[in-house]
Structure 1
């Protein structure tokens, strides 16, 4: 048993995020046979991910603020603190801070068989996508 070291907060890259988004790693694999990564992710008002998908899917637990999650069909899901949303493997989606406030969620993903395929990043989300008008 061990207490995990505190890792520094990192700002997510503009190639994959619009607006200010910060990540605190909470749990990362220690051995080659472990796949789970857990992170606390904080979005400034109006910030969002680019379109992306995950090889093994993703769970997102909203801890504060209002989150907006969208898919390619134009569905927008508003998720509130205490709610968890699941995105199945391969589903292209985005995460965003809804409304005028900050949003925070805990992201849980498993690495793909090839770790380079864990997350596939695509183009940025448009304002129309964010509103479900794509």
Structure 2
């Protein structure tokens, strides 16, 4: 906000820190390890994380070009992939984004897209670390 004081414009800048709560269903990851074994579970988790990154990039690109149909398609894939590895926060936020698109609320859509980006960054890192994929 800019204010004028004696001919001098004073600008006040506020820094907002967004701390997203992230939920991860570690039971889902455990089930993958039990069902598939360590090597195959890590392969599936790694592929899922990579696919999620691709879909999130596609979602962002579709949002920039205002292609709602492509956004909805990418969101469905993000939800499916996130559920597969237990990324509860990603699922919930992607569903919120889908609702914003359906209602045509551009302001809410932009806010939820930003939230999804923050959650995605933390969630993908978390599942990568829990899955022992960083080595």
Fold-level match, TM-score > 0.5? no
Which structure would you say has the larger Rg? 2
TM-score, normalised via structure 2 length: 0.23
Higher strand share: 1
TM-score, normalised via structure 1 length: 0.23
